[in-house]
Structure 1
């Protein structure tokens, strides 16, 4: 095989994902493994997950065929100055890759997963929430991302905490009954004691329930999701940046009432907003862009757009067929 492959990596807090593609935008391999974020999983464990995902994506492709790679990871600036980068560089060497590996922030890949523009804004709302101005593969400025205690306004955890506060205040409501049943508390005092222990995984898991209740027109749930959207817009407005807005994270890149609220506000202002799709494929696009003969827009459409998604599903189906 002649040289001509690129690698895109998304080292996420839930999973590590890898995409291998040709420089002209054909996805030829995908892989996934455990958490790859060194800030939450630790550098050694995160690097091991990333290695597993990348090994699966590469398949039988010789390392010499890979000409460039991009790794998207949270806390990229911290990673570059600590031991985390060395752990990822070891993965590169272990797999026999000699091409350059470029490390960018996960906000960069999230933006690239929605737009081929050179500059713009990404608004991310998952467990946490942050708005970032991205320019030339660099995060120029951010607003929020300050953690649940000091910020992350409108995030999944913010919604979960808001649901608990509403529940103890409106204990006799159907909304409170649904929340209390989900966490297994029969009395308000039990819920208060339960919440004081800060069981974050269970608190975070309340966000999908609140969104579902909002879809069913529960007034308390709708008030929470409406306020979450307003908080996210306020965060976005602090950046004061023109350009496309990419919506990323579980609350904004999928069908939720929070996304509906944010999109409605932005469209009312005639602001272009697009969903973030696949950050690993976006990382592959960033890797291929300097070495491809395709235009950035055509390459982006091939790797990250609907055509890229269909190709990715085809690769996954082929892999499952091979496994059987």
Structure 2
């Protein structure tokens, strides 16, 4: 017959201390996993039967609970009797017997209602079936045999603690007579606000980095498109931009602006040069290219001479336009 029992939790027990499940060493115990009744190691009452009523066949940790699977010795009359009471629901509690290895007075390990130090490390000696435990999962500690454990008291001076509470309460903008629970709640609220603020900062930093990367990529693509940066150096330039977004933005924006202005001016020169030297009309121009001084001079000198003779003003205008065009195209 086997039953599962929660043999330890990290709650504060009726003795006003607690034992951390994560600090219980049960390796040695599993080599001799005895289960007793009410921690009795010697029994002189033959009618009650042997001291050992069963054995622990498995221990597992679930969250902060230590759970034991116990098998009862049904060949022993007294053990069988105890097993029957467990089976029928008359006995439900267990208690561990452990040697204390380390304790802590760290405030972060002290829960509300706790008066003594937290047992952070212990060595499991035995598990007992008990009628009434110290709390929901009763614990009984030992150190060096049956000697009682003396744990340091958390609140040794009530007057001093009250003074400390008052100082802390005022520092937290609470009433000077605020109790412990109000102070703890305030700390929890501040901790939650801090976590929210840190999460918001991280979110904004990530968003800023993303926007900077997108803006930097757009500028770098433009620089590459204008022939100011080789395609193979885009990744290097992006790293430089992410390291100094403000500085790199100024530099690349200036490069882009200057290059676009240069390209625009070069484009205007090309248009004028084509008109003057190749007799090509700009888009939207209505004048006949054959009426230019350059064309008439090269292909119809007779007509040019006639214009000079019959219409000196037109001749002068054609010559002036030609001279201006050649001069502009040569810049």
Q: Normalising by the residue count of structure 1, what TM-score does the alignment of the two structures yield?
A: 0.23
Structure 2 length as normaliser, TM-score? 0.23
Bigger relative contact order, structure 1 or 2, given CA contacts below 8 A and separation 6+?
A: 1
